[in-house]
A and B are shown apart, each in its own frame.
Chain A
């Protein structure tokens, strides 16, 4: 009986193993292969050496990613806390409202921000009518970060909320009973308890922010190239797959390092979805 079921289990899992080997593992092998070869297929270190030219772009991506993640965290934490305090029915509606924008093409939504932020856009038209001098917003670094925060904010709110909704409130009450004021309760009790949600929210915002290319093109106007833009151009415009692969390899390693770093903060080392 036991032998038979273990045979069956290998049978049902094997199509997936083959699929994963072909389409998850093999592609990563090709990233490494293309990184260290010329377009003719000979071994070279040229692509890796060319990377130093892109150091400022890498640093900018990381910096923008960190800023966007921190702003998301600052906005999302109180939001998640407020949602978690409501009754079940209102909670469900609010979570739905947080998720709803994600079902719309992020391309269109980002494009729509252009109409809002432009020099002759909605905000500035409004300001001019009020007699206030228009503010230049589009094609700035701030606009790019705003785009990142806008697009990835739900990824921060949802995991923090899902931890907070399951939080043991007797712990919070115990903290209050022991004389903690509101700030102490948040700092010593609620933040540590919702850490798993914060950790997964931070990774879910940081990874797409660092690697984005559309947001920076549309809201940065081409003057705030991020690493994603450079990679995209190698594959879709200059057709230098080898350099593109080397850049992707570095991006991948960068993400892996930051993930390992983040996982140190959470006790379980596991990502909550």
Chain B
């Protein structure tokens, strides 16, 4: 019989493996051999040459606890093989670019221009500012101009549109006539030009087909107006001419990109004048480095490419300048964005000079201002300027390009001087570093720039040590470099569109450090910094937001309130909503950094601005953001904040009214449950508002009221709720999603308020509520779903279980599964909160019926809702479930046999949920039956299912006990032993839990031989990734040793110390220590110490390590054994092998800490004498172990003793010696400063200095 067993097991293994392979074909599973399943990762790939790293864990300075149960040291449990995913992200995870995860709104940050620095009135004092610097007045003027421009443009575009519409009615012939002369000449020449040819000519059409539109370009939405809703590949590379072209020339529409040639022409947008023929557009590195940038980068010629490859890609930038980004959203690459931004920047700088500016530049006398000729019309856009002068002398002929030996083709230049690798997009910023100029020949300023660039490059791309030193240097020399050069280098980098998260983090860190050092010198750069930092405030990454806040907070502390306001004021009524939004958020950070009171006067002024509604809107939004940011800290200023914004409720602009209501809601939410008196003044307008308004504004007003009502006293709350409920109920039917969410939220708020009666809710709210919201559609949107469940649960808290469950229980049999799930989740939450005592017999029947139905009908994957719901209902019904149990168990049994693994798993999971209730219902026989069924399914091949089955078995064993368990334990356990080999985490965890439970409670049912077998398996399990598994394994060791005695177990374990694999030895030492701890040290110590005589490094180290763990576990029990092991430790501390001394030192540490105050000082001093000579060791693990041993001695012997050891070397002539001794002194001092006072040496006085301490000589 016994000989057959292993054979059966073997064939079963084999079959299982085959089945698993088959299974992997059916479902999506990874090939663990290829992709590294969990088991492979735990193996060591090499055997360590020396044992240094093994002893890392000795550093863990946990106080040894008195052990209630057996457990391995924390350090070991923590220090186990790291999770497999850490391996995965070493080589394969692509670093994430920020732009890739941003939405269009967030990408608008790239449209911002880093503004030139501004005048700092503080440092200038009384002086009138130099006309060349930008003052506050200049900026404000510019903003006003911009707004005016925008408005004018809007008017123009409106007019254009009207014209266009008028033109559309005109016959198409006319449009044909408007075409340019190039086109016409072609038409003349080849009248029957093939459509393909026409497509090619599109570039030539470009300049003139659009004269009318060209001027109007900056209007947002123009392009999309021109091609409404058309998205083909023609739209992909948005060049203004082309889009217009697709409208104007029919050919464009006929063959959209049909010929590759046509694509080429379109893909690299070139201007007629510069059309050097490029054979084919290839994505090369040159495309990524926009070479035109050369002119824009502060160092001209920084990118060598600019000079050598004229007109390949760069010209695209010039052309791209004209369309507004709004029109290009979506289909634009970061590189193009960058081009666009630079272009805008350049345009800004190259705008035509005004007369005033010219006056200021030229001397008054000697010049005469001439009248421009009547025919002169100024050309405004640079692109047009280029177009106006066509190719010199007609058709461009092919020219042989001049050879340029200096050109660097695709090979990046070797970066000189140990600098980190440069990415292609870095060239435009750091290109100058590649010019190998002689540093001495540069001017001091240039040298400084170079230095900054080098450091920044190291921070951005360098290795961690490089980064660290560079960061430190930047910080230390910040003031020396000066704010200007620093920020002019850092900030453009942050605007780089290809930035990655990590890089941004590092650069932001640089700013933070530099800010701290520069302090008030940052003032002229505040706005610049804000432009790049504000986008962080709306980043989706939480940590980015926090970083952004921190920088702005530090910035406002460094620059001061006045400067911050001056810098941000112009942005408050910026035309771009994005700018206003980020500015509002930044202002709220300023408020939290400098205090709300300081900002109040300004806020008040802004919120009352008469000039523009944008300013009022932003001002009120600032208040909202303040409330969100600082939460209940608004309370002291609540009244003033409400007063500042209250007039916004009656504002003429709808957006302002909306934001005001939302701000009030935010304030009320932040202040809850206090501060109702501050809202008195707004109640009336809010009240009137909800009767007057409709749509979005109404939603906002309702939200405000919904948040204010919970602050009220019960009586008022009830009254107001009833009033507002009329409108809420009306809005129940609103089809608007936003409105729905707000209504649900408000209902939740109102219902949960004290003073709102259950009766009222039941009669007035419930019918409408259920009619409008409990519909299938609501289950489809995740946010609606969540909100509805929350609100319903809140209502149930008021009106009780029966009402709510009674209304929705029928829906458990609804045909829509998401809806059933929503019903189930609600029932689960309600029943968990309130219990099931309200549920009467009829409802109970319906409920169980419905739940069974829903459970059986589920098909989707995230089925935990059903499982949890089932568990919750059964558990809360308790004994009342008894009549239904046979039916439930029937279902479970049937489903355990199902073909689908998921179904089997759920069935098993359900058993573990309801086992306790089954026991309550005295259904032991049924449980025994289930136990047998589960036992039969232990051959399950899907690990997830097997894990659940084991879990179910465990819960049954837990409930009915070892003796009554069927199948009997003696049959069950042998079946579990092979499963312990399974490497799946869930299986391991459940199996070891079950085995541990049996070892603890029912060890006597199983023969000792079986337990020994299990011991061997357990050794392997100590290597598991999951901490829970390791802990359970360690505990199980203790139980087993207790059950069958330590001798056999110990013999096996000591043998195991000889194995080569390090991980295995570590586990073994832990196991030995645990066994020793369980069965008293004296049963184990003799054998253990005997083992030390084996002349083998691994074994001796293992013994020492076991001793170390042992003394850590047994704590003060160690006082009985300390004399016994002292000779062994003496020997180990004198051994030539480092690891011996290290491990022995950590044993000494644990020993000393354990026996502190128990009168073992003699032995400890003796050991200290052996430990002390090791203080000059340099290997990190050894020296740490030694230092910790000395720390332990400080605790056990007192600081005075250790100080006396110390004194001999504090002023030793050799510096190396002094350093070590002071290190010991320092840790001594930190540990026991006060205790040292009594034992400092008496120093002799010198001529003028008194060193003695006369107070200590006093005697009464």
Say whether A associates with B.
Answer: no
